[in-house]
């Protein structure tokens, strides 16, 4: 994952792992969480992502299975990790209905936290640049606050994407999609920081 500059690099993985550790520590009161599953899922979650991996979906699954076999991960753990890694991504909201294991919820929240707050702002502009999108285009209307993705889609006619709008399309929706109590709490703090940033940004470009 070296040489990746949109915020999906090795250091993203380590941040996700640390977010997951925080959530795990405060959510594991019933001692039902399997740390090995969480740790492996965090470390592997972006390796076979369609954004970076150019092979087929089946080939991408094989890459992860090969890594886990090499380090002798038990087969039931491999299965649990694969279910998480294959179903945790945002994918335009498509995966929202797939029920994740408790470990999966921790990992998904941990990954989403890295899309929020100061780090989330930095990653959004890095990714926006990679996608050749302008930071902000005043001719594109700023979307109103949306309740869900359906509303986002309905509200847009023809429009050129810009990164400021990405906050309204996705990043500001994430706090309500967190699946763990701790994740929600951490997300709320980061959400407020992003709202402050957007307010200041729009004030400056007025
Ligand atoms: P997931 O982590 O669920 O796979 P993505 O890969 O789409 O979701 O998002 C990961 C990161 O990339 C986030 O920080 C997100 O803000 C950023 N990102 C994704 N799409 C865009 C976009 N169109 N503009 C700016 N940032 C984006
Ligand atoms: Ni990720």
**Helices 35-44 and 10-27: angle between axes, nearest 10 degrees:** 160
- The alpha carbon of 203 and the centre of ligand 2 are apart by a number of angstroms equal to 31
Binning pLDDT at 50, 70 and 90, where does residue 194 land?
A: very high
130 pLDDT more than 60: yes
- Residue 49 CB: number of other CB atoms within 10 A? 12
- Mean pLDDT, the chain, rounded, equals 89
Which among 90, 107, 98 is positioned nearest to 37, based on CA atoms? 107
- The alpha carbon of 90 and the centre of ligand 2 are apart by a number of angstroms equal to 10
Greatest pairwise CA separation for the chain in angstroms = 57
Distances (CA, A) of 144 to 50, 133, 172, 195: 30, 20, 11, 13
Q: What angle do CA 121, 124, 125 make, to 5 degrees?
A: 90
Average pLDDT (3-13) is 89
Q: How far apart are CA 17 and CA 40, in angstroms?
A: 9
More confident residue, 53 or 62: 62
Q: Whose CA is nearest to atom 4 of ligand 1?
A: 89
Tokens of 77: 């753990």
* Gyration radius from the chain CA atoms: 18
- The alpha carbon of 206 and the centre of ligand 2 are apart by a number of angstroms equal to 34
87 pLDDT more than 80: yes
Average pLDDT (12-22) is 98
Helices (H), the chain: 10-27, 35-44, 57-70, 75-87, 102-113, 117-130, 149-155, 163-169, 181-204
Q: How far apart are CA 178 and CA 184, in angstroms?
A: 5
Of 123, 133, 198, the one to substitute when testing ligand 1's pocket (max ligand atoms within 8 A of C-beta) is 123
115 pLDDT more than 80: yes
Closest ligand (CA of 49): 1
Q: Give the per-residue pLDDT at 113.
A: 98
Binning pLDDT at 50, 70 and 90, where does residue 3 land?
A: confident
**DSSP reduced 3-state for 53:** coil
Q: Whose CA is nearest to atom 9 of ligand 1?
A: 115
Distances (CA, A) of 175 to 116, 152, 163, 192: 9, 16, 19, 10
Binning pLDDT at 50, 70 and 90, where does residue 164 land?
A: very high
Single pTM value for the model: 0.88
**DSSP reduced 3-state for 167:** helix
157 pLDDT more than 50: no
Q: What angle do CA 57, 59, 123 make, to 5 degrees?
A: 60
Q: Give the per-residue pLDDT at 144.
A: 64
178 pLDDT more than 60: yes
Q: Give the per-residue pLDDT at 52.
A: 72
Tokens of 2: 């070296």
Residue 165 beta carbon below 6 angstroms from any ligand 1 atom: no
């Amino acid at each position: 994952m070296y040489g990746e500059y949109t915020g999906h690099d090795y250091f993203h993985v380590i941040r996700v792992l640390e977010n997951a550790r925080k959530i795990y520590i405060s959510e594991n009161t019933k001692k039902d969480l399997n740390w090995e599953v969480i740790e492996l899922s965090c470390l592997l979650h972006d390796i076979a992502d369609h954004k970076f991996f150019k092979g087929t979906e089946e080939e991408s699954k094989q890459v992860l299975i090969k890594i886990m076999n090499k380090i002798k991960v038990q087969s039931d753990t491999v299965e649990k990790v694969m279910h998480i890694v294959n179903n945790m991504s945002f994918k335009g909201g498509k995966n929202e209905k797939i029920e994740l294991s408790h470990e999966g919820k921790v990992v998904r929240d941990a990954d989403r936290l890295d899309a929020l707050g100061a780090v989330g702002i930095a990653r959004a502009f890095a990714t926006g640049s990679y996608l050749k999108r302008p930071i902000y285009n005043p001719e594109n209307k700023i979307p109103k606050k949306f309740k869900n993705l359906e509303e986002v889609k309905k509200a847009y006619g023809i429009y050129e994407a810009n990164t400021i709008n990405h906050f309204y399309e996705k990043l500001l929706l994430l706090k309500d999609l967190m699946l763990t109590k701790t994740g929600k709490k951490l997300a709320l703090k980061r959400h407020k920081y992003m709202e402050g940033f957007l307010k200041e940004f729009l004030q400056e470009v007025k």
